[in-house]
Amino acid sequence: MKHASILVVDDEPRIVRLIRSNLEPAGYKVLVAQDGEQGLKMAEMHEPDLIILDIMMPPGPSGWDVCRRIREFSTVSIIMVTAKGDEQDKVKGLELGADDYLQKPFSIPELIARVKAVLRRSKLPGDAKREPVFTCGDIAMNFAQRRVTVKGKGDIKLSPTEYKLLYELVTNAGRVLLHQDLLRKVWGRGYGEETEYLRVYVRYLRQKLEPESSRPKYILTEPGVGYRFVDPAQFAEQEGLPSPLAETPASSSAEVAISMR
């Protein structure tokens, strides 16, 4: 993706120079903020396509705080960069809204690969081979407009990563998608073991789409295997259970209907 704008929020001049000297020749416009407060102002003012955000920036707000506050007004893609590599730190960043996590020291090829993967998700094209509206129960997804609506909630605001994950689930409705396959399709080819990414982002989708996120009816877990998107009415019928959406017209196939509009 050429000419995308990338905001680097980092208080280490050496890291900033390293990132800038490699991203600008690759065709990206690089903006720089030296602390969290400046990063917040620039994120709101310039609306970049991607933010590369350091976690530790004393004495001002940390990357955790900046990420949380950015998510209050923007769905911009965020890659968090830190010397910490604990799984708990990764999960914390994801739960605050980060799309990916890069550990120092990192290689330039790894940085560029992750930047490209995140930006591809934010520019996911509509599926030209499909009529662009998917419906299931109370959920409608317009691929051409990148718009998701839920009856009773109206338009649902999704980050690029949330949208890409939902896109993969609904375009494979009825099928179990393995953890490794979902990670590679959504985050990129270099992923396959980061199941914590999936746990966090599936929870995000359930909170936004499900009637009760603790009792999901659309996005089901196959323990130790993966996830699948189902029509709750069809699933209940197959399992011999009362339909949880008895008042909603069921789709015409177990694979969930793609409605034509």
Whole-number Cα distances in Å, 194 to 8, 19, 48, 216: 24, 24, 26, 22
pLDDT at position 249, please? 35
**CATH code that applies to domain 5-122:** 3.40.50.2300
pTM exceeds cut of 0.75: no
Q: Where are the domains of the chain?
A: 5-122, 133-239
Q: What value does the mean pLDDT take over residues 7-26?
A: 93
How far apart, in whole angstroms, are the C-alpha atoms of residue 227 and residue 1?
Answer: 30
Better pLDDT: 149 or 93: 149
For helices 63-70 and 36-46, angle between their N-to-C axes, nearest 10 degrees: 20
**DSSP-H helix ranges across 71-159:** 87-95, 108-122
Lowest-confidence segment of 95-104, 188-197, 217-226, 240-249 by average pLDDT: 240-249
Asked whether this chain's domains 5-122 and 133-239 adopt the same fold, the reply is no
How far apart, in whole angstroms, are the C-alpha atoms of residue 33 and residue 11?
Answer: 8
Nearest CA to 43 among 21, 16, 63, 19? 63
pLDDT band at 255 (very low <50, low <70, confident <90, very high): very low
pLDDT at position 246, please? 36
How far apart, in whole angstroms, are the C-alpha atoms of residue 138 and residue 228?
Answer: 17
Residues 6+ apart with CB under 8 A from 187: 100, 117, 161, 194, 197
**DSSP-H helix ranges across the chain:** 13-23, 36-46, 63-70, 87-95, 108-122, 160-170, 179-186, 195-209, 232-239
pLDDT at position 67, please? 94
Mean pLDDT in the chain?
83
Highest CATH level, class, for 133-239: mainly alpha
Answer yes or no: is pLDDT of 219 > 90.
yes
How far apart, in whole angstroms, are the C-alpha atoms of residue 215 and residue 206?
Answer: 9
pLDDT at position 258, please? 34
Answer yes or no: is pLDDT of 203 > 50.
yes
Q: Which two tokens stand for residue 225?
A: 């295997």
pLDDT at position 3, please? 79
How far apart, in whole angstroms, are the C-alpha atoms of residue 90 and residue 84?
Answer: 9
For helices 160-170 and 195-209, angle between their N-to-C axes, nearest 10 degrees: 90
How far apart, in whole angstroms, are the C-alpha atoms of residue 172 and residue 51?
Answer: 30
Residues 6+ apart with CB under 8 A from 91: 196, 199, 200
pLDDT at position 236, please? 52
